Each structure stands twice: as C-alpha cells, then as structure tokens.
C-alpha cells in the first residue's frame, strides 16, 4: 500500500497508452454471459481486473457459475451459461463497494431465485448508498425483498418472486437501477412494461446496456422516450466472443493530461466505434480548447489552451469529474451542472471535490447539483484526500502539472477500476 504520492513539475505527457477494459461493460458482460443458455460458453476478452470486477466474479462463482480464467492472460475469461438456474445459492454475497455488481444482481436474483434466500451486502460505504428506488420497483413487481438494517439500503435479503407486468422506476438517482431491470425482466415468464419517471440520469449508460443486451440475443422494444416493452421467456444467447472496449471514463484523465502536457499522446481502446456515452468527454474537451483527433478505436491529443466551460454534464457524471480539476488550468470560471448524483457515488463527490479544490486556492461554490470553480492566480500545493474513491485520486493527479505540485493520499484506491494508473502516469508524464 502506498500512503501518499507526490507529483510536481510535470511538463509533458506523450507516447501511447492502452486503456483497461470498461468496468461498466465488464460487469454487465460477466453477468450476461452467466445468464446464457446452459452449455453455451462466452469468451470475454480485455476484461478489467479490478476490485469491482473481482466482486462480480466472486459472486458468480458463489452461485456456481463455471468460470475459466486464462492462466497466461487474466483479461481473457470464459464463462459457461446457466440460464439463470444457479448451481448453488449461498447465504450471503458480499459485493464490496461495487455498484455495478450489487444493483444488477439484486434485480436478476429477484427474477431467478426459487424458494431460496440470499443476502446481498457490501462494505460500509455500500451500506450508505441508496438502493430503494430499485428495490421498491422490484417489490411492486412481486419481488420478496427485506432490508436487514437501514430501510432502503443494503444489506438486503432476496427471496425471488419477481413477476413483472407494468413497472415504474424513478430514474433520477442512478441509471444502474434501470439497467438492472432491463437485464432481469427478459428472464420472467410474463411480458413487462418498464416506465421511467423523472429526469433520467446518465442516459448513455442505458443505451450501453441496450446495445449489450442485443449482442446477447435479448429484445427490448422502445415504446416511447421513457417506456420499454420487454418480452418475457427470453433466453440469453452467447455471442461466442465479446471484447470489452477500453474504459471511456478512464480515458478522460489521459486526454486531460495530453492537453496539459502538450502531447502527442495516443489513447487506445475507445474512439468513434465506442458504445460508451463518456466518449462525449472528448467533444467537451475540444470545446474547452483541447486539440483532439478521434479515430475508430483511438484518440490523439496534442495540447491546447484551456478556457472555462459552463455545461450540463448529467449524461457523463463520471467523466465530468475530470473537468473539475481541469478548471484550475482554464481561463475563467467553470460551472459543471446537473450532477447531483455525484452525491451517491463512492463518496459524496460534490462535497469531496469542493473541499479538495479549495485547498489549491480556488474559489469553489458547491450547490445541490452543481459546482462552480474559479481558479486561483497560482495553484497552491495541496495534500488531497481521496475518500477511498478512485476517481478523486485520478482526477487530482492532473495537479502534477502545476508548479507547486500535489500530494495524493492513498493513491492505491485506484485498484477499484484502474490498478495500474499511477504506474502508467509516471511513465508518460514528465
């Protein structure tokens, strides 16, 4: 474990970097592969190996899924489908702080458990992250769910029972709730209609889920902008092989570093062919003054002069965090709007970001669902708390390009999604 990391005096970022696989895609693909028909195997390639994906792998193994990890390349994982008929059901599954594991598993187990009980729990932070919008929607569809400690939060005991029908869900907290239902409802014997209420957050992640479901043989019919018809009695079908594209959220740190460090830097793993909404970060960065060229599966970046932006970034909340630290290097006041769901992530990211940015001398206004940042005349050295939040650590690495530098406390929290980030950062940035 590294207690703290000092970064200072960086002036360039150049070379080539290959992104690790997307966490969001990897955990969805692992679960979908397990839900394929018995006897069907799916080879997943470029699978991210991190805390979050390990929690999903452990959960699937606990449910008796046959998993074969390539001894020579741990990013190649073969999964044997079980069609939702689990070989075993453990008394408890601990998902750590992996929202992309606990949320879809809550829905899928509610659809597949038959006279069995399973407790889903996590670490202390997970037990502070709300689950009520999802569990209440599931209960309205017949699911048997019991909160074991605090109402609306893990741990929860599941006992199956989901019947489907007409379900509604508030989409203003997390798109993961909606994705979870879209993955689970095709398994039911009855057809379902899913109606989304409120302003849906992170809509591109729902589109990502729909694209992946189609690859795994599942049909979802769009009735209207916020309403879907999901036929029941569907079976997941293996695409045989499935490549996990690079993590577009992680790409944001490299694209930002390529602007601050002048480049040329090529980021492999995402591009025009990406199915991830966070690719939009590149367009906003170009609007901010970055010099970028987007290829089919890569992005080239070569410096730029930054100016502040004022933007609604509700669709890309994870990548939006990178603009908060980039704002310190931009001319003018940056306002990042409609990102209230930062508050229910790995930490309360709105408050954490505001607190840490102020240490640099910036003037920061924290609102209920937005943050406004005016950079100081000269960025002060800061010792940055990371709140056991991988994105806080990676965002603030950019302060290494400030003359005063930065001290990152607990940089190893990046193991959640990008264990090798700081090794790569020190290789490319000097």
The burial class, CB within 10 Å (0-12 / 13-18 / 19+), for 371 is buried
Phi and psi based region of residue 150 (left: phi greater than 0; alpha: psi -120 to 50; beta: remaining) = beta
What's the CA angle centered on 146, arms 140 and 151, to 5 degrees?
A: 90
State the Cα–Cα distance between residues 263 and 302, nearest whole angstrom.
Answer: 4
Q: Which structure tokens are listed for 408?
A: 């990152």
Out of 170, 247, 300, 318, which one is annotated catalytic?
318
| pLDDT tens over the chain, length 430 residues | 579 999 999 999 999 999 999 999 999 999 999 999 999 999 999 999 999 999 999 999 999 999 999 999 999 999 999 999 999 999 999 999 999 999 999 999 999 999 899 999 999 999 999 999 999 999 999 999 999 999 999 999 999 999 989 999 999 999 999 999 999 999 999 999 999 999 999 999 999 999 999 999 999 999 998 999 999 999 999 999 999 999 999 999 999 999 999 999 999 999 999 999 999 999 999 999 999 999 999 999 999 999 999 999 999 999 999 999 999 999 999 999 999 999 999 999 999 999 999 999 999 999 999 999 999 999 999 999 999 999 999 999 999 999 999 999 999 999 999 999 999 999 999 9
Equal CATH topology for 4-20+247-428 and 23-230:
yes
Annotated binding residues for 3-phosphoshikimate, as ranges?
Answer: 23-24, 28, 174-176, 202, 318, 341, 345
The string over 169-183, giving b where at least 16 C-beta atoms fall within 10 Å of a residue's C-beta and e elsewhere, is bbbbbbbbbbbbbbb
Confidence (pTM): 0.92
Annotated binding residues for phosphoenolpyruvate, as ranges?
Answer: 23, 99, 129, 176, 349, 391, 416
Task: Tell me the sheet residues that pair with 169.
Answer: 196
State the Cα–Cα distance between residues 394 and 396, nearest whole angstrom.
Answer: 6
Q: Which structure tokens are listed for 212?
A: 């992946």
State the Cα–Cα distance between residues 241 and 196, nearest whole angstrom.
Answer: 32
Domain boundaries, the chain: 4-20+247-428, 23-230
pLDDT of 164 reads 86
pLDDT of 214 reads 98
What fold does the segment set 23-230 form as a domain?
A: UDP-n-acetylglucosamine1-carboxyvinyl-transferase; Chain (3.65.10)
Annotated binding residues, as ranges?
Answer: 23-24, 28, 99, 129, 174-176, 202, 318, 341, 345, 349, 391, 416
CA distance readout (Å), 407 to 42, 247, 420: 43, 25, 18
* 318 included as an active-site residue: yes
pLDDT of 2 reads 74
CA distance readout (Å), 109 to 44, 90, 351, 414: 22, 12, 34, 29
Q: Which structure tokens are listed for 232?
A: 């029941």
CATH class of the domain defined by 4-20+247-428: alpha beta
| Residue 292 near residue 301, CB atoms below 8 Å | yes
First to last CA, the chain: 23
């Amino acid at each position: 474990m590294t207690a703290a990391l000092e970064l200072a005096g960086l002036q360039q970022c150049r070379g080539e970097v290959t992104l690790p696989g997307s966490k969001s895609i990897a955990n969805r693909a692992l679960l979908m592969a397990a839900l394929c028909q018995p006897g069907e195997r799916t080879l997943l390639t470029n699978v991210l190996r991190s805390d979050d994906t390990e929690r999903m792998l452990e959960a699937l193994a606990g449910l008796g899924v046959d998993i074969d990890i390539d001894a020579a390349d741990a990013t190649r994982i073969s999964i044997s489908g079980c069609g939702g008929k689990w070989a075993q059901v453990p008394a408890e599954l601990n998902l750590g702080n992996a929202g992309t594991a606990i949320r879809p598993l809550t829905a899928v187990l509610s659809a597949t458990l038959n006279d069995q009980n399973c407790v889903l729990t996590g670490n202390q932070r997970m037990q502070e992250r709300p689950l009520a919008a999802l569990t209440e929607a599931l209960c309205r569809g017949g699911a048997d769910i019991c909160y074991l400690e605090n109402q609306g939060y893990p741990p929860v005991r599941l006992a199956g029972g989901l019947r489907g029908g007409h379900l509604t869900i508030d989409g203003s907290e997390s798109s993961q709730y909606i994705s979870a239902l879209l993955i689970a409802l095709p398994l039911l014997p009855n057809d379902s209609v899913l109606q989304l209420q409120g302003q849906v957050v992170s809509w591109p992640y729902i589109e990502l889920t729909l694209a992946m479901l189609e690859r795994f043989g599942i049909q979802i019919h769009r009735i209207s902008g916020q309403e879907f018809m999901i036929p029941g009695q569907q079976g997941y079908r293996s695409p045989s092989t499935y490549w996990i594209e690079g993590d577009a959220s992680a790409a944001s740190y490299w694209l930002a570093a390529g602007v601050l460090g002048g480049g040329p830097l090529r980021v492999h793993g995402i591009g025009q062919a990406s199915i991830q909404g966070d690719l939009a970060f590149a367009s906003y960065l170009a609007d901010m003054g970055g010099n970028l060229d987007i290829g089919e599966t890569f992005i080239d970046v070569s410096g730029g002069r930054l100016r502040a932006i004022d933007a609604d970034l509700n669709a890309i909340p994870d990548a939006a965090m990178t603009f908060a630290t980039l704002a310190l290097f931009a001319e003018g006041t940056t306002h990042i709007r409609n990102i209230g769901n930062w508050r229910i992530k790995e930490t309360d990211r709105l408050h954490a970001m505001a607190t840490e940015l102020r240490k640099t001398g910036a003037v920061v206004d924290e609102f209920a669902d937005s943050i406004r940042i005016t950079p100081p005349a000269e960025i002060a050295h800061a010792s940055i708390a990371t709140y056991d939040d991988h994105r806080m650590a990676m965002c603030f690495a950019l302060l290494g390009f400030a003359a005063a530098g930065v001290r990152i406390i607990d940089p190893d929290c990046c193991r959640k999604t990008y264990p090798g980030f700081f090794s790569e950062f020190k290789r490319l940035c000097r």
